[in-house]
Structure 1
Amino acid sequence: MQKSAKETLCLELKQAVPKYVEKVQYLTQHNNQFDYYQEIPIEKLIKTTKISHKSIEIADGILQNEFFFLGNLEKIQFGTEIDWNYQHSNAANTYQLYIQTLNVISYLCDAFVETKETIYLYKAYTLLLDWILYIKTDKHENLYKWVDHTVANRTLNIIYFFNLSKNEINIDESIIADILIQHGHFLYDDKNYVKNNHGIMVDRSLLVLSVFLNNHDESPRWFEKAKLRVRDAFLRDFSFQGVHLENSPAYHKMVKTMFEKIQGFLIEHNLTLGDDISEKLKMTKNYLKYILKPNGYLPTIGDTALSKLNVKKTFKSFHDSEAGITIMQSKNKNDLDSTWLSFICGYGSKTHKHRDDLSINLYYKGEDILVDSGQYNYDLYDKYRQYILSPQSHSTIIQKNKNYKIKPPHENKELIKTVNYSSNSLYDYVKGIHKGYDGFSLERSIIFFKPDIILIYDKVISNEVRIFQQNFNLAPHIEVLSKNREKVVCNSSNSKIVFKQFIKTGQVQQFNGDRETPRAVISEKFGKIIDNTQIVFSTKGSNVKFLTAILLDKGEKKLENVSVNEDNDVLTINIKGQKYSLVI
């Protein structure tokens, strides 16, 4: 926006403020005088946004009522009035949530920090006052007006705005006091508290608010409850090995960062969550080194979008039965060409859990081979969301068109779990059991002979004849060259991949991107669908077994034979003249 246009708009916003204030004052009781706050330096605040090279561009859009919410969400252009109940045609709940967080205020504050131009503060103030008028007069049933996530973020955004504005523009502090205290009561109330990452957001904001309103009568109670709840959340939500239990690497990173910021904020004010939390936080950093693929990207397991981290990778294998995650790895001279394999079986929380038990992801020679379905959105009844949550969208063993219930973890703890794991320089081995379906049970054993042979032994015991399928969810760039019931040959830009069956199967099918059904689609970015290919081996029966090798490049020539003694589940493998016998 040109300087003259900005000056004109700034004057218009400044002139509009008194009218907004008058309307809000009419609806506000004015019981609260803002004489009990503690000024917090901006660099020590916890914020919902980060200043970046795009901060001014984002804020200039918001000046024109073009709302930016989050990296992967569309910008929404409003007219002269903001529709606070806006319904997006795709992922309506998600957009409504981010409208109600008032993160747009934080983006405007970021731009002021960068430029010192008060137009951004005036715009933030008019948006805040407009939202207060809306919240006090609107009769629509909008669940996101007052819900944990939105209230938690709004609290931080309003505090950020106040700290910047109080010495820069004329604001009515009593209005800010009223709305923040209302937020504090909401955050404190246990009936608004859910024991997941949203609860951590609530406690984070309540801790900041209690420090900010340090002389308010409620602040000591707010602080003690938030500290107690957030300590309990840390011990509840991370495994003994420091893995966040909400089934998604992206949420591990997010929640780890939230706790680090909470602890850092408190230390700045001579407070702390405790030395025990500080020590365990160090463990949460280590997990990212394992779960990262060799190219530095997080796998799209659970509700994780494609994202790259600046974290030093470790190539040791990793297993955490509490979190239901196993990482098998083999380091190449060139780190990028290393082999990485994940296995999921079991869970410690229902939150963000997909029906992905017994599923695998595979990365080799700089490329994804088998991938998870990703995130897409959080609208449960969206057809893509339903598919992406389903077993059919993962590389696992399934009954055709059958789902299972994600029960509370204590109910499924003995039904879905990893039962064996070992790792050495030659191979990694893991086994999982899945009794979460009605009428049949599944077992999957995986042996990864480093670096290019993966053996999968699947075993099904059913109370009746059914169709069981081995589903392989290929990365979008993988090309299927040939297929039959015994062997499927695929090609990527860097390698040849062979899926070979050693027990006769009924049929093999190939599914290509089908957005209508849907089938064979994945989501690497929020709200975006891309096509991929699936290979499905099927067998009909009550006691069904699959013995499958995934052979990467030279692995096809190295593996001479595989057989299994079905009476005692002893696997015999011949690799380059060397015989191995393993009980699986």
Structure 2
Amino acid sequence: MLAQQAKHALPVTARNANIAVTRAAITQARQLWETGFVPAGRAVAPWPFQLPLDWNADPFRDRNWRYQLHAWRMLDPLLGAWEQTGNTRYLDDTLRIVFDWYEFHSARDQKSDYEWYDMAVGLRAMKLAYLLQRAFRGDVQLDDAEKAKLLHLAWLHARSLMDERLLSRGNHGLFQLHGLLALCNVVPSIGTCAGARDFVKTEMQDLLLRQFSFEGVHLENSPEYHFFVYNTVKRFMDSGWYEQFEFIHDLMERVGQNRVWMVHPDKTIVTVGDSEPKSVNIEWPESPDSCRDLKASCYLLRNFSESGYAIVRSDWAVPTQNASMLFFMGMFFQTGHKLPDDLSFEWFDQGERILTNAGKYSYSKGAFRDYVTSTAAHNTVEIDGRTPKLSKASRYGSAITDARAMGETFLIRGAVPREEGIEQERLVLFRPQRWLAIADVLQGDTLHEFTQWFHFARQWQLENTEGDMRLVSSSGRTVLVRHLSGAQLVAPRGQKQPKLQGWVTESYGTMVDRQAFGFTAGGRSVRLVTLFGFDEAALDEASAAVALHVPATEPSSDVN
């Protein structure tokens, strides 16, 4: 019966089993045995790969590497090579590794820290479904004992994945549920698959409604993960296993439409939260040709007030070299992929990124990961030189309180509760192609030191700090900076001591130096105002706009 079920089940393909098949799969399969295991996208030395394996190894002190080992990522090039050649030795090698994992944990009863790690279990379940279908369709020859091992592995994985207590409530849960659906699509009659489809349908709906707002915005505080989860779910839907899950189709339509707001006009992902400045392949919406020449009416405002993002950008028709964008962040619904970047922002103008956040760097422990998870690494306010711990208790939902156009100027306002009972309100005034003003009002009951941090994209070089500070881009463009609050300035670039400052993620695991500004003042309550403009007249306009919208009285300043 199992053989008939597996043969006639909907196909488990490399794509819907989340198996990465690259053009270099054959070369990568050979390199696995010759030089060692390197997870895709990770710049680490090859780890010598020889069976039997120590599945609890931790050669790089890297939790992500350990997860990838237990997600059987080394099987991807082997299965890709089989897909490309039909040579069964690649399936044989795959099964040798799978059975080695089984022998280590089941036969020898040894333990691994990541043995039943949520996402790894889901990804392994997909590969098991793929291999079981191959075995029962005769693509690889297995004896009865080997088939029994595969089925026992399937039974163990389905048991884990059907346990609601082990289901991640973040994006990892999507992989767990899809792995369960894949496995029980192929061998539905194994005991631990009973009720699997109804379980997946119920839990998937609950999970996606936790992951996304009604507006269709991913709530893990990261534009990169908006793309990641959207692409993941769409790939899962292509399997044909979700045809009766109507709610997924409706939600993913909204999520897909919102992707265009998560990237700068040069189509690089906005680096809020755990995001890298990756380029994405995406089409802009239809737009009137009249906006190909810059006009005051050719700017768009999107206020995701329920979700916590507010974005001003040029109309889609405006060429990249002329385009502007301001992305404002005020979101804290979940701790997953959240960084301490409350009320931070990114600014793109006249064709290039100007002010950006630090990006995620990597998930490995170390000084640079500590840096990007610090408040000081983002375009926000640091209090007393410390970074508060992110916890469920400190979640505030959406911090956006206002977002509107006022003629040619845009206003965005947000407010968040900060550590030690301090309240922060940030007002952003933005006139694209001209200037940007950031005004922070922080109010508390005791003396504190407040530092308003700004971080320039790496191509900007500081030329002077006298009067209006001047920065010049490698493109030749100039930005002037004027601070109005009399705070003390520091301007580090690539600083390592006494602590890291002035760094930005270039790609996963790679940091490069860049210019940072910190304006520090102290007191029970302070007001910090900084202006950015493309010439002195623009700064004067920004200063006049601030005078209209920010209280004129100076809060007390009791600490130098």
> Structure 2 length as normaliser, TM-score?
0.88
Q: Indicate if the aligned counterparts of 1:207 and 1:227 stay in contact, CA closer than 8 A.
A: no
Residue in 2 aligned with 1:226?
200
1:441 pairs with one of 409, 423, 426: 423
2:62 pairs with 1:92 = yes
Amino acid of the structure 2 residue aligned with 1:499: V
Q: Indicate if the aligned counterparts of 1:237 and 1:245 stay in contact, CA closer than 8 A.
A: yes
Cα 1:444–1:510 shift into 2, 3 Å:
same
Residue in 2 aligned with 1:4?
none
Q: Indicate if the aligned counterparts of 1:305 and 1:525 stay in contact, CA closer than 8 A.
A: yes
2:433 pairs with 1:451 = yes
2:152 pairs with 1:202 = no
Residue in 2 aligned with 1:130?
100
Residue in 2 aligned with 1:69?
39
Cα 1:161–1:64 shift into 2, 3 Å:
farther
1:309 pairs with one of 261, 277, 280: 280
2:355 pairs with 1:370 = yes
**Aligned-partner Cα distance in 1 for 2:213–2:310:** 13
Residue in 1 aligned with 2:556?
none
2:328 pairs with 1:343 = yes
Cα 1:553–1:180 shift into 2, 3 Å:
farther
**Aligned-partner Cα distance in 1 for 2:520–2:67:** 42
Shift of 1:558: 7.2
What CA deviation, in whole Å up to 9, does each residue of 1:511-534 have, x standing for no partner? Answer: 121346322222232222222221
1:258 pairs with one of 217, 232, 253: 232
Shift of 1:299: 1.6
Residue in 1 aligned with 2:294?
none
What CA deviation, in whole Å up to 9, does each residue of 1:84-125 have, x standing for no partner? Answer: 222133x52111100001122132111111111222112111
Structure 1: give runs of 5+ residues left out of the alignment. 1-31, 572-584
**Aligned-partner Cα distance in 2 for 1:232–1:216:** 26
Q: Indicate if the aligned counterparts of 1:290 and 1:316 stay in contact, CA closer than 8 A.
A: no
Q: Indicate if the aligned counterparts of 1:340 and 1:364 stay in contact, CA closer than 8 A.
A: yes
2:17 pairs with one of 34, 39, 47: 47
1:486-525 to 2 correspondences below 5 Å: 487-494=468-475, 495-503=477-485, 505-515=486-496, 517-525=499-507
Cα 1:39–1:173 shift into 2, 3 Å:
farther
1:333-412 to 2 correspondences below 5 Å: 333-379=318-364, 382-408=366-392, 412=395
Residue in 2 aligned with 1:5?
none
Cα 1:557–1:98 shift into 2, 3 Å:
closer
Cα 1:333–1:135 shift into 2, 3 Å:
same
Q: Indicate if the aligned counterparts of 1:207 and 1:223 stay in contact, CA closer than 8 A.
A: yes
**Aligned-partner Cα distance in 2 for 1:555–1:164:** 70
Q: Indicate if the aligned counterparts of 1:103 and 1:157 stay in contact, CA closer than 8 A.
A: no
**Aligned-partner Cα distance in 1 for 2:537–2:155:** 64
SS at match of 2:251: helix
Cα 1:150–1:270 shift into 2, 3 Å:
closer
Cα 1:554–1:543 shift into 2, 3 Å:
closer
Amino acid of the structure 2 residue aligned with 1:192: L
Q: Indicate if the aligned counterparts of 1:422 and 1:429 stay in contact, CA closer than 8 A.
A: yes
Amino acid of the structure 1 residue aligned with 2:473: S
Residue in 1 aligned with 2:396?
413
SS at match of 1:77: coil
Identity among equivalent positions (%) equals 20
Amino acid of the structure 2 residue aligned with 1:324: G
Residue in 2 aligned with 1:29?
none
**Aligned-partner Cα distance in 1 for 2:79–2:536:** 56
Structure 2: give runs of 5+ residues left out of the alignment. 286-298, 554-560
What CA deviation, in whole Å up to 9, does each residue of 1:367-425 have, x standing for no partner? Answer: 2211111112334x53322221111000112224122232327x5427x7111111366
Residue in 1 aligned with 2:313?
329
2:80 pairs with 1:110 = yes
Q: Indicate if the aligned counterparts of 2:15 and 2:235 stay in contact, CA closer than 8 A.
A: no
Cα 1:560–1:168 shift into 2, 3 Å:
closer
Residue in 2 aligned with 1:547?
529
2:30 pairs with 1:60 = yes
SS at match of 2:353: strand
Cα 1:138–1:355 shift into 2, 3 Å:
farther
My pick for the range that moved more, 347-356 or 179-188, is 347-356
Cα 1:456–1:423 shift into 2, 3 Å:
same
Cα 1:353–1:193 shift into 2, 3 Å:
same
My pick for the range that moved more, 192-201 or 516-525, is 516-525
Shift of 1:73: 4.0
Cα 1:198–1:569 shift into 2, 3 Å:
same
Q: Indicate if the aligned counterparts of 2:158 and 2:180 stay in contact, CA closer than 8 A.
A: yes
Q: Indicate if the aligned counterparts of 2:417 and 2:424 stay in contact, CA closer than 8 A.
A: yes
Cα 1:343–1:130 shift into 2, 3 Å:
same
Q: Indicate if the aligned counterparts of 2:344 and 2:380 stay in contact, CA closer than 8 A.
A: yes
1:184 pairs with one of 158, 163, 182: 158
Cα 1:87–1:80 shift into 2, 3 Å:
same
SS at match of 2:331: coil
Residue in 2 aligned with 1:150?
120
Q: Indicate if the aligned counterparts of 2:14 and 2:21 stay in contact, CA closer than 8 A.
A: no
Cα 1:277–1:378 shift into 2, 3 Å:
same
Shift of 1:262: 3.1
SS at match of 1:451: coil
Cα 1:183–1:568 shift into 2, 3 Å:
closer
Residue in 2 aligned with 1:9?
none
1:287 pairs with one of 254, 258, 272: 258
My pick for the range that moved more, 458-467 or 291-300, is 458-467
Residue in 2 aligned with 1:28?
none
**Aligned-partner Cα distance in 1 for 2:337–2:547:** 39
Q: Indicate if the aligned counterparts of 1:101 and 1:149 stay in contact, CA closer than 8 A.
A: yes
2:278 pairs with 1:296 = no
SS at match of 2:98: helix
Shift of 1:565: 5.6
**Aligned-partner Cα distance in 1 for 2:406–2:236:** 39
**Aligned-partner Cα distance in 2 for 1:555–1:115:** 66
> Structure 1 length as normaliser, TM-score?
0.84
**Aligned-partner Cα distance in 2 for 1:50–1:211:** 21
Cα 1:187–1:131 shift into 2, 3 Å:
same
**Aligned-partner Cα distance in 2 for 1:136–1:39:** 28
**Aligned-partner Cα distance in 2 for 1:130–1:568:** 66
Q: Indicate if the aligned counterparts of 1:72 and 1:525 stay in contact, CA closer than 8 A.
A: no
Between the two proteins, the alignment pairs up a number of residues equal to 531
Shift of 1:49: 2.8
My pick for the range that moved more, 474-483 or 49-58, is 49-58
Cα 1:106–1:80 shift into 2, 3 Å:
closer
Q: Indicate if the aligned counterparts of 2:22 and 2:77 stay in contact, CA closer than 8 A.
A: no
